């Protein structure tokens, strides 16, 4: 009884704070909307207000943004392959995640934004969509979401679960509440033993934690399509060397410009493929390259770069894998700025040598495995990155060895999908 009282008290305090912050959520949507207009749309979904009658969607998958949607893709594809008529709801929080859901599955899945973690909104969301199992990707730990699933009798799983030491420390204030919320989970299906241990330290019962590996290793690769894209690319640029800066954030943009200037002193015909992480950065990146004196092309305007283009900005979503395959060397962003890195396996999976900055706390295990296999080079700063990229551009044999090692690591790492499906099978509705 005392435990129930403590839970009610903690939930009440948490919910009261969130309700007081509702005006801030409106301000946040407006502020983001000026940078990315899609944030002005579909506000009703943010507060769990839906037109029409309730709809039953037995399997619910929550993937916060584009990276998590890509990680969830093998799982959703497998669930659809098991039963093409199975109704699946995929929720996201960001417009880029929403666009990726539609690009991958179109109308084969239901999709809305997940509401804010207000208790009333969560109850309305669950009552409207009536899921029978909840599959939550990676590190989305929202107390009311988990408690409301328990209260509604919906078994909830954290799949492809990851939790860095930094994130664990960041949950200090909410630990008394989160530890209780984690006890409501059916399983924590962790990426690694270290992730599983950190979830246990946060409060997940040891018997609920299983290690399945990383779903990103099971990503689908369309080899024929990539080869065709690569041939088209080379027809346009010839034998020019090319590198890609992918998933970059604002504080990494000036370093990328400086690196490209330095590299073009040695390779005057060097082409930079640049894919910023967020759509609102497409135009500023183009302008920075123009200000640097370069001729710039973009995917939406010209489709392909020309012989005289110094920079080609990939201002589309969902095509990054193909352009990784077009480059000789790939820099994966979020690693110079203190973001924690992005998916290092994507370029490795298509046979491209990979470099990154040092801030990789979100991909600690993958980065370690890639470095041990000599499939990743890390620069400690922009100068270090430029040096590593130059070495690889100058050494085709080393690039090939790194590419082969990365491909082998991805092949050997497959199996997380099978183990995840086995872990969630008892609660998957027939």
Q: Tokens in use for 155?
A: 């078994």
User: Which of 7, 56, 68, 207 is an active site residue?
Assistant: 68
Give the pair of three-digit tokens for residue 278. 């967020």
Please classify residue 259 by burial: count the beta carbons closer than 10 Å to its beta carbon, then call 0-12 exposed, 13-18 middle and 19+ buried: buried
Q: How far apart are CA 220 and CA 74, in angstroms?
A: 7
Beta strand pairing call for 311-313 and 353-356: unpaired
Give catalytic status of residue 68 as yes or no.
yes
Catalytic residues: 68
């Amino acid at each position: 009884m005392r435990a129930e009282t403590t839970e009610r008290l903690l939930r009440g305090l948490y919910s009261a704070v969130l309700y007081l912050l509702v005006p801030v959520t409106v301000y946040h949507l407006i502020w983001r909307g000026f940078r990315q207009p899609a944030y002005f749309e579909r506000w009703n979904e943010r507060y769990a207000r839906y037109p029409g009658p309730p709809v039953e969607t037995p399997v619910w998958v929550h993937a916060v943004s584009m990276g998590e949607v890509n990680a969830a893709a093998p799982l959703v594809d497998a669930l659809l392959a098991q039963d093409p008529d199975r109704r699946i709801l995929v929720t996201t929080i960001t417009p880029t995640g929403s666009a990726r859901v539609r690009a991958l599955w179109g109308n084969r899945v239901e999709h809305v934004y997940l509401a804010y973690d207000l208790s009333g909104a969560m109850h309305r969301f669950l009552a409207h969509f009536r899921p029978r199992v909840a599959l939550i990707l990676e590190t989305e730990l929202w107390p009311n979401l988990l408690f409301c699933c328990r209260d509604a009798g919906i078994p909830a799983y954290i799949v492809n679960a990851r939790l860095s030491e930094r994130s664990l420390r960041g949950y200090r204030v909410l630990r008394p509440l989160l530890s209780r919320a984690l006890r409501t989970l059916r399983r924590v299906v962790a990426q690694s033993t270290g992730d599983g241990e950190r979830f246990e330290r946060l409060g997940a019962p040891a018997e609920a934690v299983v290690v399945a590996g990383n779903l990103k290793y099971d990503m689908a690769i369309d080899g024929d399509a990539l080869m065709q894209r690569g041939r088209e690319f080379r027809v346009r640029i010839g034998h020019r060397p090319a590198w890609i800066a992918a998933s970059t954030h604002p504080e990494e943009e000036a370093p990328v410009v400086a690196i490209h200037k330095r590299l073009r002193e040695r390779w005057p015909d060097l082409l930079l493929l640049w894919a910023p992480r967020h759509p609102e950065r497409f135009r500023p990146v183009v302008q920075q390259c123009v200000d640097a004196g370069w001729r710039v092309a973009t995917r939406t305007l010209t489709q392909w770069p020309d012989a005289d283009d110094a920079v080609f900005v990939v201002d589309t979503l969902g095509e990054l894998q193909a352009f990784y395959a077009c480059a000789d060397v790939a820099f994966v962003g979020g690693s110079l700025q203190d973001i924690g890195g992005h998916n290092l396996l994507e370029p490795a999976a298509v046979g491209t040598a990979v470099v990154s900055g040092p801030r990789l706390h979100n991909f600690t295990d993958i980065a370690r495995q890639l470095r041990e296999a000599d499939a990743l080079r890390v620069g400690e700063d922009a100068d270090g990155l430029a040096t590593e990229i130059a070495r690889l551009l100058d050494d085709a044999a080393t690039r090939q060895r790194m590419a082969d090692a990365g491909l082998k690591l991805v092949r050997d790492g497959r199996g997380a999908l099978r183990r995840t499906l086995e872990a969630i099978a008892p609660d998957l509705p027939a």
